[in-house]
Amino acid sequence: MTVASEHQLERFMNRIDSGEKIEANDWMPDDYREALIRLISMHGISEIMGALPEKEWVPKAPTLHRKLAIMAKVQDEMGHGQLLLRVAEDLMEPLGKNRDDIMQDLFSGKLKFHNVFHMEAPTWGDAGIIAWLVDGAAIISQTMMLGTSYGPYGRALKRICAEEVFHAQHGESIIMALAEGTKEQRELLQDSINRWWPSLLMFFGPKSKAETGHTNQDKNMRYKLRTKTNEQLRQEFLTKYVPRIWALGLTIPDESLRFDEADGEWKYAQPDWNEFKRIVTGHGPKSQERLSLRVRSYEMNNWVREALGKSALASEVGSYE
Amino acid sequence: MDSGEYRNCLIELLYQLADDDFILAYRGSEWIGLAPHIEEDVAFSSISQDLMGHATLYYSLLEELGEGQADSLTHNRPPEKFHNAIILELPNGTGTYLENPDYDWGFTVVRNYFYTLAKKIRLDSIKTESYEPLQQIAKKISVEMSYHLMHWETWFNQLMNSTPEARSRMEKAIKLVLENFDGIFSYGELGDQIVKLSLIESEATLKQRWITELQKKEQIDLSMTMNKGNGRNGIHTKHLTTSLATLSEVYQSIPAAEW
Model pLDDT for residues B97-155, shown as the tens digit of each residue: 999 999 999 999 999 999 999 999 999 999 998 899 999 999 999 999 999 999 999 99
* Count of other CB atoms within 10 angstroms of residue A225: 22
Rounded-to-integer distance, Cα B15 and Cα B67, Å:
10
Nearest to B30 by CA among A300, A188, A71, A148: A71
Counting runs of H as helices and runs of E as strands, what totals does chain B give? 11, 2
Residues of B in contact with A51 (CB under 8 A): 32-33, 41
Contact partners, residue B41, CB within 8 Å, separation at least 6:
A51, A78, B31, B32, B33, B34, B35
> What phi and psi values does residue B103 have, to the nearest 5 degrees?
-90, 150
Contact partners, residue B143, CB within 8 Å, separation at least 6:
none
Cβ B37–A313 below 8 Å, yes or no?
Answer: yes
**Minimal Cα–Cα distance from A119 to chain B, Å?**
15
Q: Across the strands, what pairs with A258? A: A267
Give the pLDDT confidence score for residue A316 in this predicted structure: 47
B54 lies in some domain:
yes
Residues in chain B: 259
pLDDT of B79 > 60? The answer is yes
Cβ A317–B35 below 8 Å, yes or no?
Answer: no
Contact partners, residue B142, CB within 8 Å, separation at least 6:
B120, B123, B124, B127
Q: What is the mean pLDDT of each run of 10 residues along chain A (321 residues)?
A: 84 95 96 95 96 93 97 96 97 95 94 95 96 96 95 96 91 97 97 98 88 72 91 97 97 98 97 95 95 93 88 44 35
Nearest to B129 by CA among B188, B197, B185, B186: B197
Rounded-to-integer distance, Cα A195 and Cα A199, Å:
8
How large is the average pLDDT for residues B40-50? 97
Mutation target among A70, A74, A75 for the B interface, most CBs of B within 10 A: A75
Mutation target among A56, A63, A176 for the B interface, most CBs of B within 10 A: A63
Burial class of residue B54 in the structure, from the number of CB atoms within 10 Å of its CB (0-12 exposed, 13-18 middle, 19+ buried):
buried
* Three-class secondary structure of residue B186 per DSSP: coil
- Long-range residue pairs from A140-146, CB within 8 A, at least 24 positions apart, any chain: A140/A233, A140/A236, A140/A237, A140/A240, A141/A203, A141/A204, A141/A233, A144/A226, A144/A227, A144/A228, A144/A233, A145/A225, A145/A226, A145/A227
Provide the number of structural domains found in chain B: 1
Name the residue ranges covered by the structural domains of chain A: 29-207+215-307
Percentage above 90 pLDDT, chain B: 95
Mutation target among A99, A187, A300 for the B interface, most CBs of B within 10 A: A300
b/e B26-53 (16+ beta carbons within 10 angstroms → b):
bbbbbbbbbbbbbbbbbbbbbbbbbbbb
* Chain B residue closest in CA terms to A100: B37
Residues of B in contact with A294 (CB under 8 A): 33
Residues 185-204 of B with CB under 8 A from A: none
Cβ B151–A78 below 8 Å, yes or no?
Answer: no
Q: Using an 8 Å Cβ cutoff, are B121 and A291 in contact?
A: no
Q: Using an 8 Å Cβ cutoff, are B151 and A317 in contact?
A: yes
Contact partners, residue A233, CB within 8 Å, separation at least 6:
A140, A141, A144, A204
| Number of Cβ pairs < 8 A linking chain A and chain B | 169
A228's enclosing H/E stretch is none
> Could you give the C-alpha distances from B9 to B13, B99, B127, B189, in angstroms and in order?
6, 41, 17, 10
Give the pLDDT confidence score for residue A220 in this predicted structure: 86
Residues of A in contact with B102 (CB under 8 A): 296, 300
B251 lies within 8 A of chain A by CB: yes
B258 lies in some domain:
no
Q: Across the strands, what pairs with A260? A: A265
CATH topology of domain A29-207+215-307: Ferritin (1.20.1260)
Residues of B in contact with A48 (CB under 8 A): 33, 38
B46 lies in some domain:
yes
Q: Using an 8 Å Cβ cutoff, are B33 and B42 in contact?
A: no
* Chain B residue closest in CA terms to A182: B257
B60 lies in some domain:
yes
**Minimal Cα–Cα distance from A297 to chain B, Å?**
5
A265's enclosing H/E stretch is strand A265-267
Rounded-to-integer distance, Cα B145 and Cα B148, Å:
5
> What phi and psi values does residue A156 have, to the nearest 5 degrees?
-65, -40
Give the pLDDT confidence score for residue A208 in this predicted structure: 80
Helix ranges restricted to H, chain A: 3-17, 30-55, 64-92, 99-108, 124-129, 135-145, 151-179, 183-202, 209-212, 217-222, 230-247, 273-278, 287-300, 302-308
Over the Cα atoms of chain A, what is R_g? 21
Say what the ipTM of the complex is.
0.96
Burial class of residue A273 in the structure, from the number of CB atoms within 10 Å of its CB (0-12 exposed, 13-18 middle, 19+ buried):
middle
Give the pLDDT confidence score for residue A1 in this predicted structure: 67
Contact partners, residue A242, CB within 8 Å, separation at least 6:
A252, A257, A259, A266
CATH number of the domain bearing residue B189: 1.20.1260.10
Structural domain containing residue B166: 3-253
Handedness of CA A8, A13, A16, A18 (dihedral sign): negative
pLDDT of B49 > 70? The answer is yes
In angstroms, how far is CA B166 from the centroid of its own chain? 25
B211 lies within 8 A of chain A by CB: no
> Could you give the C-alpha distances from B140 to A137, B6, B28, in angstroms and in order?
38, 23, 21
Give the pLDDT confidence score for residue B256 in this predicted structure: 84
Cβ A320–B39 below 8 Å, yes or no?
Answer: no
Q: What is the dihedral of CA B104, B52, A170, B43, to 10 degrees?
A: 50
Rounded-to-integer distance, Cα B259 and Cα B19, Å:
22
If phi over 0 gives left and psi between -120 and 50 gives alpha, with beta otherwise, what is residue A19?
A: left
Give the pLDDT confidence score for residue A215 in this predicted structure: 66
Q: Using an 8 Å Cβ cutoff, are B60 and B125 in contact?
A: no
Contact partners, residue B81, CB within 8 Å, separation at least 6:
B234
Residue B46: which of A60, A309, A321 has the nearest Cβ?
A: A321
Rounded-to-integer distance, Cα A62 and Cα B214, Å:
38
Model pLDDT for residues B185-244, shown as the tens digit of each residue: 999 999 999 999 999 999 999 999 999 999 998 889 999 999 999 999 999 999 999 999
Q: What is the dihedral of CA B39, B41, B47, B49, to 10 degrees?
A: -130
B225 lies within 8 A of chain A by CB: no
B49 lies within 8 A of chain A by CB: yes
Cβ A56–B98 below 8 Å, yes or no?
Answer: yes
pLDDT of B253 > 50? The answer is yes
**Sequence letter at residue B242:** T
